Amino acid sequence: MAYKIPFVRDMDFVYEEAQAVSPLIRRLVANNPGPFTFRGTGVYIIGHGDVAIIDPGPDDEAHIEALLRAVEGERVTHILVTHRHMDHSPAAHPLAAHTGAKVYSSTIPPKPSDCDTLRLEASDDHLFQPDINVSDGDRFTGPGWTIEAVFTPGHTTNHMAYALVEENALFPGDHIMGWSTTVIGPPDGDMTAYFESLEKVRDRDFTTLWPTHGPPVTDVRPFVQAFIDHRREREAQIIAQMRAGKTSIKDMVSVIYADVDKRLHPAACHSVLAHMIRLVQLGRVECMGGPPCVDSLYALKD
């Protein structure tokens, strides 16, 4: 059975202009579209007067100026970052320098690599360090708004989503996107953690998801379940390819992702590697000659 994710891709926006999308939420889309960012990084401004900013985006002068215009006459009290990728975190400290706000994010370090891994376009922001560490369940408040940190590792080891309590809404960063599946790229990406984080979000029964890339998701529980079902199906496809005699990840990707933009195949190799590491941990697959890597060879154990 093929599980179809009901993606949502239609967006009504103007680049670098803040638009009210709910009573407490404004969204400003950075002009950085691409195969990993879709239309661009959606920066969220929460509240009025005293405001929080979630995922400030790229360190681009025009973008930062647009953000400052959007909050002119207001006080930025919190800059919240979901994870340290170049399309999410680099504007945090330049924005903090202009506003006096503190930068908040998880400080869990990325996992070390056992092998040479492919580098993704949405690469790690190595210089990023928050002012204040965030842990699961931490709360941040302002006039009329409450934000709760929801730890969602998987896309990265330190990925932190943020829930707006008053609207029962979640800002899932790259954990869940409305327009596409999420890249899980080892060593920092972990497929088992990703499954667990998907189930965690599903079971919270949020009313709306506001991803950093793409439009909102409103039918949340079945949407998240579709992501879980899709990943289970992907594992079944990988096992089927191995039963058919394929032993390398790149050969599997060329078949499984035949209808996907080839620019995304390196990222797909990372996601298949994440599945493969999980299958090795579960004892279903053997990696021949060293730790699981993109260029390793694999065999079924059953």
The CATH label, of 1.10.10.10, 2.60.40.10, 3.40.50.740, 3.40.605.10, for the domain at 230-300 is 1.10.10.10
∠ CA 279-280-285, nearest 5°, is: 80
Q: Are 171 and 152 in contact (CB under 8 A)?
A: no
State pLDDT tens for residues 266-275: 888 988 999 9
Residue 99: pLDDT above 80? yes
Residue 115: pLDDT above 80? no
Long-range contacts of 12-16 (CB under 8 A, 24+ apart): 13/39, 15/40, 16/62, 16/63, 16/66
Give the per-residue pLDDT at 113: 79
The residue assigned the tokens 């400052």 is 68
Residue 118: pLDDT above 80? no
Mean of pLDDT values over 178-187: 91
Instruction: From residue 126, give the alpha-carbon distance in Å to each of 29, 85, 130, 233.
Output: 23, 8, 12, 34
Q: Are 91 and 65 in contact (CB under 8 A)?
A: no
The residue assigned the tokens 């590697």 is 273
Where are the chain's structural domains?
19-218, 230-300
Q: By percentage, how much of the chain surpasses pLDDT 70? A: 97
The fold of 19-218 is Metallo-beta-lactamase; Chain A (3.60.15)
Give the per-residue pLDDT at 3: 65
Give the per-residue pLDDT at 120: 47
Beta bridge partners of 108: none
The mean of the pLDDT values for the chain is: 94
Beta bridge partners of 26: 20, 45
Q: Are 162 and 113 in contact (CB under 8 A)?
A: no
